[in-house]
């Protein structure tokens, strides 16, 4: 499967690009905003597309065309304002969903946030971020795409264990970005994750086993 990774230069994105490019089953195209980021990936032999999520649906579709799946793991990040949360995390995500349809790409994996689907569990300091994720996830569920929504808990830069816990509702927990990336990759062609949304934290089952029990 050839995977279009939106947010390739982000922390989860970089991990995902690495393991996809090392995998024998998959190919990858990294979507990045800047020529320099593209150059970095190209020097590693990784295909790129330069697109900004504030551009049109058509531009995003043109970047994705020819791929078989899209992973949305972009985030405006904590250093920008909530205006970018609206433009990137919400509208950028939904434009990517629309771009998938336009480019006839059926498979779509969204990286969301733990408990983003339950308003009463949104953490106080970052509520506006949850609002954006909530509606982006909702729009994906209402699309005609073969979606999976992965909602990881607190993100760590540690090595990861390869062992996870997944469920519709998990009250809290942490997970390494490497394990999130591995969970995304394992979900790509795991039919049991199709049309599902789930919380994800570090746990005690190997990733592929955990996904089969969803």
* Active-site residue flag, 147: no
State how far the Cα of 90 lies from the Cα of 92, in Å rounded to an integer: 6
> Which of 15-23, 105-113, 123-131, 164-172 is the region at the interface with its own copies (rule: CB under 8 A)?
123-131
Crossing angle of helices 177-187 and 11-22, rounded to 10°: 50
Q: For residue 168, what is the DSSP state?
A: S
Judged by CB under 8 A, the residue of 91, 141, 189, 190 near its own copies is: 91
> Which of 38-46, 80-88, 164-172, 174-182 is the region at the interface with its own copies (rule: CB under 8 A)?
80-88
87 binds its own copies (CB under 8 A): yes
CA count, 13 A, side-chain hemisphere, 38 = 13
Judged by CB under 8 A, the residue of 66, 81, 172, 191 near its own copies is: 81
Crossing angle of helices 127-141 and 91-102, rounded to 10°: 20
Q: Kindly report the number of other CB atoms within 10 A of residue 39's CB atom.
A: 11
162 binds its own copies (CB under 8 A): no
73 binds its own copies (CB under 8 A): no
Judged by CB under 8 A, the residue of 134, 137, 185, 201 near its own copies is: 134
- What backbone phi and psi angles, to 5 degrees, belong to 58? -60, -40
* Minimum distance of its own copies from residue 64's CB (angstroms): 18
> Which of 41-49, 62-70, 119-127, 180-188 is the region at the interface with its own copies (rule: CB under 8 A)?
119-127
């Amino acid at each position: 499967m050839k995977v279009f990774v939106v947010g390739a230069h982000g922390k989860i994105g970089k991990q995902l690009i690495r393991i996809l490019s090392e995998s024998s089953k998959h190919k990858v195209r990294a979507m990045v905003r800047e020529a320099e980021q593209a150059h970095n990936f190209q020097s590693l032999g990784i295909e790129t597309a330069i697109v900004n999520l504030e551009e049109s649906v058509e531009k995003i579709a043109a970047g994705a065309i020819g791929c078989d799946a899209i992973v949305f793991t972009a985030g405006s990040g904590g250093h920008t304002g909530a205006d970018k949360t609206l433009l990137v995390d919400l509208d950028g995500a939904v434009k990517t969903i629309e771009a998938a349809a336009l480019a006839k790409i059926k498979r779509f994996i969204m990286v969301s946030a733990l408990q983003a689907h339950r308003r009463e569990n949104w953490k106080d300091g970052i509520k506006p971020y949850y609002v954006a994720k909530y509606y982006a996830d909702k729009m994906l569920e209402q699309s005609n795409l073969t979606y999976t929504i992965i909602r990881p808990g607190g993100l760590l830069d540690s090595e990861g264990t390869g062992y996870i816990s997944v469920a519709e509702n998990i009250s809290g927990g942490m997970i390494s970005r490497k394990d999130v990336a591995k969970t995304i990759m394992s979900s790509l062609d795991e039919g049991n994750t199709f049309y599902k949304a789930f919380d994800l934290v570090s746990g005690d089952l190997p990733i592929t086993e955990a996904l089969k029990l969803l």
